[in-house]
Amino acid sequence: MSETNKENKLWGGRFTGTTDPLMNLYNSSISYDSKMYKEDLEGTRIYTQGLCKLNLITESELKAIDHGLTEIEKEWSSKTFVIVENDEDIHTANERRLGEIIGKEISGKVHTGRSRNDQVATDMRLYCRNILNTQLIPYLKDLIEGIVGRAEQEIDVLMPGYTHLQRAQPIRWSHWLSSYATYFTEDLERLVQISERLNKSPLGAGALAGHPYNIDRDFLAKGLGFDEVIGNSLVAVSDRDFVVEIMFWGSLFMNHISRFAEDLIIYSTAEFGFVQLADAYSTGSSLMPQKKNPDSLELLRGKSGRIFGNMAGFMMSLKGIPSTYNKDMQEDKEPLFDSLTTIEHSILIATGVITTLKINKENMFKSLTMDMLATDLADYLVKKNVPFRETHHISGECVALAENLKLSGIDKLSLEQFKKIDHRFNEDVFEVFDFEQSVEQRRAVGGTAKNAVLTQLSNLKNKLK
Whole-model pTM over 0.85: yes
- Is-catalytic flag, 178? no
The confidence band for 76, taking pLDDT boundaries of 50, 70 and 90, is very high
pLDDT in the model for residue 4: 45
389-417: pLDDT as tens digits: 999 999 999 999 999 999 999 999 999 99
* Class of domain 3-112 as given by CATH: mainly alpha
* β-bridge pairing 275-276 and 358-359: antiparallel
- In the chain, which segments carry CATH 1.10.40.30? 370-433
373-384: pLDDT as tens digits: 999 999 999 999
What does pLDDT average to over the chain? 93
316-362: pLDDT as tens digits: 999 999 999 998 998 999 999 999 999 999 999 999 999 999 999 99
359 phi/psi in degrees, rounded to 5: -110, 150
Task: Give the active site residue among 78, 164, 286, 423.
Answer: 164
- In the chain, which segments carry CATH 1.20.200.10? 117-366
- Is-catalytic flag, 164? yes
**Is it the case that residue 18 has pLDDT exceeding 90?**
no
The confidence band for 22, taking pLDDT boundaries of 50, 70 and 90, is confident
Task: Give the active site residue among 2, 31, 285, 458.
Answer: 285
Q: Is 358 exposed, middle or buried (0-12, 13-18, 19+ CB in 10 A)?
A: exposed
Residue of 15 and 454 predicted with greater confidence: 454
211-260: pLDDT as tens digits: 999 999 999 999 999 999 999 999 999 999 999 999 999 999 999 999 99
pLDDT in the model for residue 85: 86
pLDDT in the model for residue 11: 45
- Most distant CA pair in the chain: distance in Å? 103
Spatial distance between the Cα atoms of 40 and 110, rounded to a whole number of angstroms = 12
- Of the candidate CATH numbers 3.40.50.2300, 3.30.230.10, 1.10.8.590, 1.10.40.30, the domain formed by 370-433 belongs to 1.10.40.30
> Which of 234, 131, 242 minimizes the C-alpha distance to 197?
242
Angle at 25 between CA 24 and CA 27, to 5 degrees: 65
Angle at 78 between CA 75 and CA 81, to 5 degrees: 35
- 204: alpha, beta or left? (left if phi > 0; alpha if psi -120 to 50): left
C-beta of residue 456 within 8 angstroms of C-beta of residue 182: yes
167-183: pLDDT as tens digits: 999 999 999 999 999 99
pLDDT in the model for residue 232: 97
Tell me which CATH code domain 117-366 carries.
1.20.200.10
Continuous segment of H or E residues that includes residue 201: strand 200-201
**Is it the case that residue 1 has pLDDT exceeding 50?**
no
**Is it the case that residue 162 has pLDDT exceeding 80?**
yes
